[in-house]
Structure 1
Amino acid sequence: MATHATMPTRRRSQARTPERHGHTALAWAMPLALGVIVGFWAFFINRDGGATTGGQIWLGVVSGVAFAVLCFALVQVRWALPRELRAAAFGALTGGAVGFLSSLNGNSVLTSSAIGLALAVGMSCVMFYVYYTRED
């Protein structure tokens, strides 16, 4: 009379994956904070110790908003991308931002591109390592 111990149970054929929503406080706060940092950085690099002008303020606001929007968009679609493309996207965002800020500092286009490319490759490698070791 031990049949109750061997009765089959109903189980799911696939494991449930957690729902990933980008509407948490961190999903809004992190791109906003990074956008503010990039905006102030662009403003202060362009200001160069002189008097503040409206063009410098607009440069800081536009670059900060653009970076925050791109960062927020990347955070929203990151789980739909494979890990290699996700790492490359974060690397491209970082390298593009640093290359832009480097060009504002008065560096040549070639120097700014090299700095941005070096940081993009480095960030891509770091993000790939993080995703590769923490997924599955």
Structure 2
Amino acid sequence: MTHAAPRRGELVRPTRTPDVFDERVHTAARYGVPVAFGLVYGYWAAANRRAGGPITGWNLLFGFVTAVVFMVLCIAVAVLAPRLKRELHSLTKSAFAGAAIAFLFNQSGASVLECVALGLAVTAGVFAVFFYRYYTREDAAGNRIR
């Protein structure tokens, strides 16, 4: 079978996918996602702490304080980590994830050693994933390859 040759001046497909969201959507998501994650995290920590018991005022306060601290730390990590080298960038994000999981596990009444072991395991796994991601998408100077 034969195929027609492409004509001169034919449109070339773009190499990147188009950005369908404008800057306002990205700005809203930059702060909206940590707020949503923080609310879920605060509820989860409060639920772990009460262990199926009744919801009290102190439990609600604990949940909201935990949510606010998580939101602030999540936004700080999201803003500051990309400015670091890829190793520290990966370590910052993975340490945040490991500490967050270890804190949730600690609220369920587990021992400190179990929480530390789980936090270190999560940190190591997340570090491996993020380091691989940043290592394969940056050049030696740390500039992103587009």
> Normalising by structure 1, what TM-score?
0.79
Mapped partners of 1:74, 1:113: distance in 2: 21
The answer to whether structure 1 residue 52 and structure 2 residue 55 are counterparts is yes
Task: Give deviations 1:70-127, integer Å, cap 9, x for gaps.
Answer: 1101111122101110100011100101101111111000001100110011111111
What is the aligned partner in structure 1 of residue 101 from structure 2?
98
1:71 paired residue number: 74
Q: Does 1:35 align with 2:38?
A: yes
Higher relative contact order (CA 8 A, sep 6+): 1
Q: Could you tell me which residue of structure 1 aligns to residue 86 of structure 2?
A: 83
How far, CA to CA, are the matches of 1:30 and 1:71 in structure 2? 10
Identity %, equivalent residues: 42
The count of corresponding residues between Structure 1 and Structure 2 is 114
Higher helix content, 1 or 2? 1
TM superposition score normalised by structure 2: 0.74
Segments of structure 1 that go 5 or more residues without pairing to the other structure are: 1-22
Q: Is the 8 A contact 2:42 2:67 kept in 1?
A: yes
Q: After the TM superposition, which parts of structure 1 deviate over 2 Å for at least 4 consecutive aligned residues?
A: none
Corresponding residue of 2:115: 112
Aligned to 2:127: 124
Over the residues paired in the alignment, what is the CA RMSD in angstroms? 1.2
What is the distance in 1 between the residues matched to 2:30 and 2:135? 21
Q: Structure 1 counterpart of 2:118, which letter?
A: I
* CA distance in 2 between partners of 1:131 and 1:31 (Å): 21
Does residue 27 of structure 2 align to residue 24 of structure 1?
yes
Which runs of 5 or more residues in structure 2 are unaligned?
1-25, 139-144
